[in-house]
């Protein structure tokens, strides 16, 4: 990952709530996460320094001491949902074995609260969207795995982001992608980065565009087929048919009719189509040829270079052959 891409991430402007909320580009504690995600920003306008006080009260409640939170009157209608969220988060944190003081990025807290059964209001997704729009004006937002997973099976689920074996996930993947191992992605250490669109290295972590994938598929389709061997023609047309056709072509090239012209390596060329050449050869070399018309048309490919498409003719073929 280019160094200047990491610098760009550190230079994010802070996207905050209307009353000076937490920085969405930095990891949050449990108390910060609940204060930001479970209470609308407008609620903090009720009293000065209410946010800081609520974070302190939430920190106590998350440690099991809920008395102050239960008796807080300034929270109004938000108190009951907040007490419920505290209980659900404590239970979920214990289930996954997460360190109680471990800070995590807001995207991970949103995921954890959703998994715990906490109902998130519209302001959460509005603030998430504002943060993303601001960051993505500079480049692609990714969360890089700071230290490789110890379990090789777990690390195989992550996507290589650069030659130095760091890994990344998009915001959507970190928020919604199913995981098989208990504790992931919360127990892993992530770092927020932005891959600048102006940097050559940025192409490494950017998914291949639809046009690039289409071009690759078309290139594969256009790969030349391997030339068919004489063994192939002998198998599908019969050895006798192939030998007799070779004799007929040799005789015909020695005539003055000009149906076929001798080329190098025992091959021939013609201006006639496969159907026309088969008809002419049967007319003049019928005593030598064997096999049906369809078999002879296939066999011609071993000896004769046929024209692409049917060339226009000034006169009917029957007059040309007389």
Name the residue with higher pLDDT: 82 or 48: 82
3-state helix, strand, coil in the chain (%, to 5): 50, 10, 40
Confidence bin at 207 (pLDDT 50/70/90): very low
Confidence bin at 16 (pLDDT 50/70/90): very low
Domain boundary among 152, 171, 206: 206
Q: Give the separation between CA 228 and CA 237, rounded to whole angstroms.
A: 13
Do 243 and 194 lie in a common domain? no
Do 180 and 289 lie in a common domain? no
Q: For residue 113, is it within any domain? A: yes
Please give the pLDDT value at position 38. Answer: 93
252-281: pLDDT as tens digits: 888 888 888 888 777 888 888 888 888 888
Please give the pLDDT value at position 56. Answer: 92
Q: Percent of the chain having pLDDT more than 70?
A: 73
pLDDT, mean of residues 7-35: 68
Instruction: Please give the distance of CA 271 from its chain centroid, rounded to a whole number.
Output: 49
Do 272 and 194 lie in a common domain? no
Q: Is the pTM of this model over 0.75?
A: no
Please give the pLDDT value at position 154. Answer: 36
Name the residue with higher pLDDT: 115 or 167: 115
Please give the pLDDT value at position 306. Answer: 86
127-179: pLDDT as tens digits: 999 999 988 888 888 898 876 544 333 333 334 444 333 467 889 989 998 87
Name the residue with higher pLDDT: 62 or 207: 62
Number of structural domains (the chain) is 2
Q: Percent of the chain having pLDDT more than 90?
A: 23
SS (H, E, C) 31-59: HHHHHHHCCCHHHHHHCCCHHHHHHHHHH
Do 243 and 200 lie in a common domain? no
Summary mean pLDDT of the chain: 77
Do 98 and 171 lie in a common domain? yes
Cβ atoms of 266 and 216 within 8 Å: the answer is no
Confidence bin at 198 (pLDDT 50/70/90): low
Collapse the DSSP code of 117 into the 3-class scheme (helix H, G, I; strand E, B; otherwise coil) and give the result: coil
* Backbone Cα Rg of the chain: 37
Q: Which of 89-98, 169-178, 193-202, 294-303 has the lowest mean pLDDT?
A: 193-202
Do 27 and 146 lie in a common domain? yes
């Amino acid at each position: 990952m280019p160094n200047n891409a990491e610098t760009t991430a550190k230079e994010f402007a802070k996207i905050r709530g209307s009353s000076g909320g937490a920085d969405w580009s930095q990891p949050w504690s449990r108390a910060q996460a609940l204060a930001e995600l479970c209470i609308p920003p407008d609620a903090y306008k009720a009293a000065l320094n209410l946010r800081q006080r609520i974070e302190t009260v939430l920190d106590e409640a998350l440690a099991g001491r809920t008395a102050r939170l239960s008796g807080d009157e300034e929270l109004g209608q938000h108190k009951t949902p907040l007490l419920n969220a505290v209980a659900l988060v404590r239970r979920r944190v214990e289930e996954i074995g997460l360190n109680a003081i471990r800070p995590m990025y807001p995207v991970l807290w949103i995921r954890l609260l959703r998994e715990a059964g906490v109902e998130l209001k519209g302001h959460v997704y509005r603030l998430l969207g504002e943060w993303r729009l601001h960051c993505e004006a500079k480049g692609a937002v990714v969360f890089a795995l700071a230290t490789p997973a110890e379990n090789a099976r777990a690390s195989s689920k992550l996507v290589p982001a650069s030659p130095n074996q760091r890994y990344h996930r998009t915001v959507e993947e970190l928020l919604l992608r199913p995981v098989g191992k208990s504790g992931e992605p919360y127990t892993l250490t992530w770092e927020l980065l932005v891959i600048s669109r102006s940097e050559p290295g940025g192409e490494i972590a950017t998914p291949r565009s639809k046009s690039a994938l289409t071009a690759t598929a078309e290139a594969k389709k256009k790969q030349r087929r391997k030339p068919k061997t004489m063994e192939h023609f002998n198998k599908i047309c019969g050895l006798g048919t192939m030998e007799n056709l070779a004799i007929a072509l040799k005789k015909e090239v020695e005539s003055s009719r000009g149906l076929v012209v001798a080329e190098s390596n025992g091959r021939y060329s013609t201006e006639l189509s496969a159907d026309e050449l088969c008809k002419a050869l049967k007319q003049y070399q019928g005593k030598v040829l064997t096999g049906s018309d369809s078999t002879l048309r296939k066999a011609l490919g071993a000896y004769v270079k046929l024209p692409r498409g049917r060339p226009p003719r000034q006169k009917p073929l029957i007059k040309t052959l007389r």
